[in-house]
Every structure is written in C-alpha cells, then in structure tokens.
A and B are shown apart, each in its own frame.
Chain A
C-alpha cells in the first residue's frame, strides 16, 4: 500500500499542492471541533457580532488555563459535585417559596454570598423534620453537624481563581438576578454549573449593561 503511494502518487509531483491543501483543511476542521468542546457553553452568549462570544479559537484551547486554576472538570458546564447533604433548591425555593436572601443573607451586604450557617438551617429544621425518609435522613445529618459544632463541608460549584474579586453585593444591588449567572437554580435538585464564568462572558454582560469594564473592577 505504502509502496503504491510512494511509487504512484509520490512520483506524480503535480498533486502535491492539492494534497497540502487537503491536509491543511482537515487540520483546521479537527481543531475547530476541539474548540467547540473546550468552551461550548449555551449560557455563553453567542450573539452575532460579538467576536469574543466565549468560543475558544483554534489556537486558544486554554489548556494552560485549565491547568492553571480550575482543572477541566470543575470548570466544565454541568459540573455537579457530590454534596455532603442532598440540599434541594427545588424544595426550598420552588415549593416553599423561600427568598434567596433568607439563607444567603450576606449576598447584598458583602462580596461573598456566603453559604448559610448551620445554625441558619437549624432555625427551621429544629421544627421541620422532613416528610419522606430520604429528607429525614438528610435533615438528621444537619442536626448532627450542628450538635457536633462542625461546619458542613459543602463542595464548591462555582470556583473563582484568587485573582478574580467578584462582589455579590454590587451585582445584587444592581438588580442582577441570581439566575443570570447561576442558571435556573430554583429548578436544581443538585446545584450545577451553567455559566462559563470566563472573562469574555463577564465583559459581555458588563458591556451590554454599560457597567464598568475597568480591569481593577475584578483584578487587584
């Protein structure tokens, strides 16, 4: 086979330019399909005219970025870490119509929308034991943590690198809904990551709303 190629094809020199062209096209195509995988988030705006719509270019697969902080898994869309307690936003927000800031009470006060204290959970769950056995099992876990005086080791869903200073307070006060970044959180039984939270994605929104896009807003 190889012999045939070398004998017939290779000798016949006038095909070489075409051959090169074909190889080039293939490589580009393959590369682009990679690119799609690398940053294919629905939530990342793909509006026309925005050249930086979150799609990585062929040469910019951000392999370095992956190694540098998030690690691909934690970064990918739909990252759904195993939580110590099966907390369901559906039950709390959708069914029981609880306000986000009832638990995440610092989100309008502080840069961190802190995870509620165990005590905070107990505020209700000292009375509410849960209906189904599963629920009861989970709620007893909370009680154990509280009685032991240990914090619940929640697994982070949205990990920011240490050089990004995101301020929840400012966003909440500006009327940015939780869903705009965290997705339809009220419909999540398990919290998962829906936004790329890459810089282009942030900038996009800032540009649209005429928010400040000075670097120091997030980096210092």
Chain B
C-alpha cells in the first residue's frame, strides 16, 4: 500500500525509472562527445570571439561605434546586463527556494537551471565592463586601498550592483559546486579516461558517499540553500535600483524591485525550458523529465507573467494618477512614440502569448513550449529595452530629446554574449552530470528485493 503511494509519487515526479536507469542515462551523457557537440561548441566559441572583436574595436575607436548617443547614454549593454541577471534568477529559485519548499518537481531540472544561473551571471558580469567608457579603469569601482587615497562612492546604486552581483555569483557558484559533489563522485567511479579520472577526483573533493559525509553534505546543502534564497530577491532588487533610485520619469518608481524580480523569474523559467527541451530530446531523458515537470514550470510562468502584466498596468496607472506631466508624457510616449514597436512587442510576448498556457494540452506540448519560451525571452529583452531606452529618450528638457539606432557593434556584442553563455553550457553538459542523480533518486522508488512484488507491479 505505502509502496504504491510512493510509486505513484515516483511516477508523477519522474517517470518509470529505476536507480540503475537514472545512473545509466545521466552518466551516458558524459560519454565521448559526438561530432555534433564539437560543432556546437566551436560555433559558440566563434560567436563570442566575434563579439569580443566588436568590443576590442569599440575600445580602440571609442564608444561612438555603438548606437548610443545623447541623451540615450545607457543602451543595449545595460539591457543585456539586466536580461542576463534576470536569466540567472530562476536557477537559484528552482534550486534553493523550491528546495526549501520541498517542491518535488524541481529535482530533474534544477542542476541544469543552476548551471544556467552561474553561466548567466558570468555573462551578465561582462556587460558593465563592456559598457563603461574606460574599461581599463573599471577596477576603480572596487573598494581597494590605493595610492590615490580615494574610495568609491557607496551612495551609488552602481556600486551596490558590484556587490550584489559578485555576492550572488560567489554564493550561487558555491551552492552549485556543493550540489555537484556526490554526482561527480559517481562519475569519477565510472570514469574511463585518465583525464576525467583526475578531473573528477579533484572536483569531487574526496566524496566517498559514507554516512558521515552524506550527513554533512545535506546540512551544508541546506545552509547554502538558505543563504541563496534571500539573494534571489536582493540581487534583482538592487539591479532595479539602478533605475528606481534615479530621477528619470519611467525609472523613478517604487514598484521596480518586485516587478524586476518577478520578471527575472519569468524569463529564467522560460530560459530553462529553452535549454531543457533540446537536452531532453538529444539525450533521451523523456523518462526522467516528464510532462509533469513542464506542466509545473508552465504554471510558474503563468504566475510570473501575471505579476509582470500587473506591474505594467500599475506603471501606467501611477503615471496617470501622479498627475506629473513628465511621467504622463513618458507613458504616452511608450505605446505611441518612436519605440512603440518595442512596447507592443513586449506586451504581446509577456502578457498575451503566455495566456495560452491556461490551456492544459499546450502546457505539455513540447514544440509549442519551445517556441513560447523563446517568445518570452524576446519579450523580456524588449521589456528592459522599453524601460531603459524610452525613458531616456524623452525626459524633462525637450530640446535634449533624442533617438537611437542600433550599430553592428551593439548587435555583435549582444549575440557574442549568447555564444559565451552557450560555450560554458555545452562544456558543462559534457563534463558534469547535468541532472542531479542523487536528488532524482530521492524521489523514485527504492529498489525492492522481493521479486514478486516487482512482478506484481509490472
């Protein structure tokens, strides 16, 4: 009886799999890379090298190479920064927050989500440096004792960013590595090549899987989860303060922190779906990552999409209610002005399109989900575009108003970032278990010795 319940849960949470099967499927992902993998890796590298080239030329000739100009001083780079930080979020959400909430659907996907987090933060972290006029002085933002007798300005939200993002990166990376240890150990035991043996034995930090280690491991994992949880809220709140703390109509809004956090999770979950679907297809993980997981993620998307939509509406309402001519003009300008396409694109991608997910069959329609997840990612990029560009384009002094036109450098660096992110992802998938073996095992039925019962079940 009790076993039935367990078994039902197991079927629900992660298909009809056994311990052995999980081990096999997951570790089989680490086997000798195929030709396709190399192609993917190289194309990723090529992309970010191209982006890097753009950056170099920008440093040589000056930021005039970008589409930026007065008064739009922040452009694609900050948009990308916010976008990637946002992507990073859901990783921690899924791994830490849902862990604390014991939400069982997270098990098979959280490892991938968290890898995504780490690499997304690594990508996001590049953009402030790319963005500044004199990147070689970017280290002045660090509070380092120096012979100029100068500290950075702790009042500046940008400095808060430096701390928020670096903290976030440290914690999430640690959390990520801790989570990896047991699985790496099992990879170590099954590793064939010498290189991998050495690699895994170093990175598994001497995991033997004995009870004592396991006890400490669980405790440590719990602690890190607890540490990471507040960061989910804090990081993107701080990022949002870059805008909320300034005086520009369209930026200067108290709603920003929750609005940004919700948006971040929204985009993050979408990105997870974008990554999981091909992975599941390529490595035949259908029996581990099931419709149930997608369904659950779609519900998360529906929720956050709702929050984001609400935030949009509130912004407009506040602009009207404030009776502030500058705010009002700004929010008239967004839907009807120079950048109206971006606005309506955002509205479609983030508010309207996700509504279709109320319809259950679509929530489990993999092809549809893949398209939807990409639509949402585009939508979220457009959201940041709207916030940053349109607000700057029309503020207080009409004589100083201006427009924006993209340059190839902007586009190149933006695409390059995806290459950078993709490269790390590709490498990770081949070198470390992208599905948490231990945690998946937690939710599936333990192997039963009695043959009859097993027969009886089949």
Query: Interface residues, chain A, CB within 8 Å of chain B?
Result: 6, 10-14, 16-17, 39, 44, 51-52, 54-57, 59-60, 62, 64, 196, 198-201, 203-204
Interchain residue pairs A-B with the least CB separation, the first 9: A13-B206, A52-B149, A200-B149, A200-B147, A199-B148, A203-B149, A198-B147, A60-B146, A57-B145
A192 CA to B206 CA, complexed, in Å: 58
Establish whether residues B198 and A199, one from each chain, have CB atoms under 8 Å apart when the complex forms.
no
Given A14, A51, A59, A203, which contacts B139 in the complex, CB threshold below 8 Å?
Answer: A59
Establish whether residues B139 and A204, one from each chain, have CB atoms under 8 Å apart when the complex forms.
no
Contact A59 to B144, CB < 8 A, known contacts A13-B204, A16-B202, A64-B136:
yes
- Asked if B11 is at the interface of the complex by the 8 Å CB criterion, the answer is no
Establish whether residues B139 and A60, one from each chain, have CB atoms under 8 Å apart when the complex forms.
yes
Given B136, B145, B149, which contacts A199 in the complex, CB threshold below 8 Å?
Answer: B149
Establish whether residues B139 and A52, one from each chain, have CB atoms under 8 Å apart when the complex forms.
no
Most chain A Cβ neighbours within 10 Å, of B142, B147, B149: B147
A14 CA to B144 CA, complexed, in Å: 34
A-B contact count (CB 8 A): 59
Least CB distance from B139 to A in Å reads: 7
Contact A13 to B147, CB < 8 A, known contacts A59-B139, A60-B139, A64-B136:
no
29 A-B pairs in the complex with CB atoms less than 8 angstroms apart: A6-B198, A10-B201, A10-B202, A11-B201, A12-B206, A13-B206, A16-B206, A17-B205, A44-B147, A51-B145, A52-B148, A54-B147, A55-B145, A57-B146, A59-B142, A59-B144, A60-B144, A60-B145, A60-B146, A62-B147, A64-B136, A64-B137, A198-B147, A198-B148, A200-B146, A200-B147, A200-B149, A201-B147, A203-B149
Least CB distance from B212 to A in Å reads: 12
A12 CA to B144 CA, complexed, in Å: 38
Least CB distance from A18 to B in Å reads: 12
A60 CA to B137 CA, complexed, in Å: 11
Query: Interface residues, chain B, CB within 8 Å of chain A?
Result: 136-137, 139, 142, 144-150, 194, 198, 201-202, 204-207
Contacts of B146 in A (CB 8 A): 52, 56-57, 60, 200
A56 CA to B139 CA, complexed, in Å: 13
Which residue on A lies nearest to B199, using beta carbons?
A10
Contacts of A64 in B (CB 8 A): 136-137
Establish whether residues A13 and B145, one from each chain, have CB atoms under 8 Å apart when the complex forms.
no
Least CB distance from B36 to A in Å reads: 31
Which residue on A lies nearest to B142, using beta carbons?
A59
A180 CA to B254 CA, complexed, in Å: 54
Establish whether residues B201 and A200, one from each chain, have CB atoms under 8 Å apart when the complex forms.
no
Least CB distance from B203 to A in Å reads: 9
A52 CA to B142 CA, complexed, in Å: 15
Which residue on B lies nearest to A56, using beta carbons?
B147
A71 CA to B205 CA, complexed, in Å: 46
Contacts of A44 in B (CB 8 A): 147
Establish whether residues B147 and A16, one from each chain, have CB atoms under 8 Å apart when the complex forms.
no
Contacts of A57 in B (CB 8 A): 144-146
Contacts of B148 in A (CB 8 A): 52, 198-200, 203
Contacts of B198 in A (CB 8 A): 6, 10
Contacts of B194 in A (CB 8 A): 6
Contacts of B205 in A (CB 8 A): 13, 16-17
Least CB distance from B318 to A in Å reads: 39
Least CB distance from B79 to A in Å reads: 28
Least CB distance from B162 to A in Å reads: 14
Contacts of B136 in A (CB 8 A): 64
Which residue on A lies nearest to B185, using beta carbons?
A13
A37 CA to B136 CA, complexed, in Å: 21
Contact A52 to B147, CB < 8 A, known contacts A60-B139, A64-B137:
yes
Least CB distance from B388 to A in Å reads: 29
Contacts of B201 in A (CB 8 A): 10-11, 13
Contacts of A17 in B (CB 8 A): 205
Contacts of A12 in B (CB 8 A): 206
A62 CA to B149 CA, complexed, in Å: 13
Most chain B Cβ neighbours within 10 Å, of A6, A13, A17, A64: A13
A30 CA to B145 CA, complexed, in Å: 18
Contact A39 to B144, CB < 8 A, known contacts A10-B198, A13-B201, A13-B206:
no
Establish whether residues A52 and B202, one from each chain, have CB atoms under 8 Å apart when the complex forms.
no
Contacts of A56 in B (CB 8 A): 146-147
Contacts of B207 in A (CB 8 A): 13
Least CB distance from A101 to B in Å reads: 31
Contacts of B139 in A (CB 8 A): 59-60
Establish whether residues A60 and B202, one from each chain, have CB atoms under 8 Å apart when the complex forms.
no
A196 CA to B137 CA, complexed, in Å: 20
Contacts of A10 in B (CB 8 A): 198, 201-202
Contacts of A52 in B (CB 8 A): 145-149
Contacts of A16 in B (CB 8 A): 202, 205-206
Contacts of B149 in A (CB 8 A): 52, 199-200, 203-204
Establish whether residues A199 and B202, one from each chain, have CB atoms under 8 Å apart when the complex forms.
no
Least CB distance from B147 to A in Å reads: 4
A54 CA to B198 CA, complexed, in Å: 45
Establish whether residues A55 and B202, one from each chain, have CB atoms under 8 Å apart when the complex forms.
no
A54 CA to B201 CA, complexed, in Å: 45
Which residue on B lies nearest to A14, using beta carbons?
B206
